Amino acid sequence: MPTRAVKKSEPFDAEYYDRYYGSARTRVHSAEEVGRLCSAVVSFVEWWQHPLTTVLDVGAGVGLWRQWFAKRRPSVRYRSTEYSAHACREYGHEQRDITKWRAKERFDLVICQGVLPYVDDVGAAKAIDNLAAMTAGFLYLEAITKRDLREVCDEGRTDVKVFERTGAWYRARLSKHYVEVGCGIWCKKDAGVLFYELEAR
């Protein structure tokens, strides 16, 4: 069972974004670091020769992935959503709750970075099903786990007021829909992508 829960008041306000995205002293990642992540994920999708014409960014934050696509892949149709009303106002995202919402269309790449640990077990399981329903090719998922909180995360730069779950919990639910190919990248089982044996689990 989770041992930590999010605050009941609006947790994703201007103060939250200033701390975890704005301040060089306390932000989780810089725009340059996220840019390298974008390049890596997109390069792998292109390596596996899957079309990349549409992208859905769930929990898009300050829009760093959007900036990367606008500069590096301007022909890609990019759509961004956020739970935070503040982020939607400031950065132009659609306000959506991934535990309850799914688009009718499917996307070549779905990004969900740092979202699922903020919702309880029931909500996270529903969110994974919704993400899968909208994925035509690949999902990039970042979700810190109980082990990450203990061994990896810097509490000065990471919001640790989240629901603690094991990696096994996430994998059990993701594996119903996806093949795990590493580094947070998951391929939809019906995407028709061929992998070398040691590329995927």
Domain CATH number, residue 144:
3.40.50.150
Asked whether residue 137 is domain-assigned, the answer is yes
Q: What is residue 28's three-state secondary structure?
A: coil
Asked whether residue 13 is domain-assigned, the answer is no
| pLDDT score at 169 | 98
Asked whether residue 80 is domain-assigned, the answer is yes
| pLDDT score at 12 | 75
For 151, the domain range is 48-188
* Position 147, amino acid: R
For residue 174 the two structure tokens come to: 């993701």
Q: Is residue 46 a contact partner of residue 185, using CB atoms and an 8 Å limit?
A: no
User: Rg (Cα) of the chain, in Å, rounded?
Assistant: 16
| pLDDT score at 105 | 97
Asked whether residue 201 is domain-assigned, the answer is no
Element (H, E) at 54: strand 54-58
pTM: 0.88
Q: Are β-strands 135-142 and 185-188 bridged in parallel, bridged antiparallel, or unpaired? A: antiparallel
Maximal C-alpha separation, the chain? 47
Asked whether residue 118 is domain-assigned, the answer is yes
Asked whether residue 29 is domain-assigned, the answer is no
- Per-residue DSSP letter, 76: S
Give the residue from 76, 86, 31 showing the smallest Cα distance to 54: 76
Asked whether residue 100 is domain-assigned, the answer is yes
The residue length of the chain stands at: 201
Asked whether residue 179 is domain-assigned, the answer is yes
62-90 b/e with 16+ CB inside 10 Å = b?
bbbbbebbeeeeeeeebbbbbbbeebbee
| pLDDT score at 31 | 84
Total tally of structural domains belonging to the chain:
1
Burial status of residue 165 (CB atoms within 10 A of its CB: 0-12, 13-18, 19 or more) = buried
| pLDDT score at 30 | 83
pLDDT tens sequence for the chain (201 residues): 444 444 445 667 667 666 556 555 655 678 899 999 999 999 999 999 999 999 999 999 999 999 999 999 999 999 999 999 998 999 999 999 999 999 999 999 999 999 999 999 999 999 999 999 999 999 999 999 999 988 987 776 666 688 999 999 999 999 999 999 999 999 999 999 999 999 999
* Position 111, amino acid: I
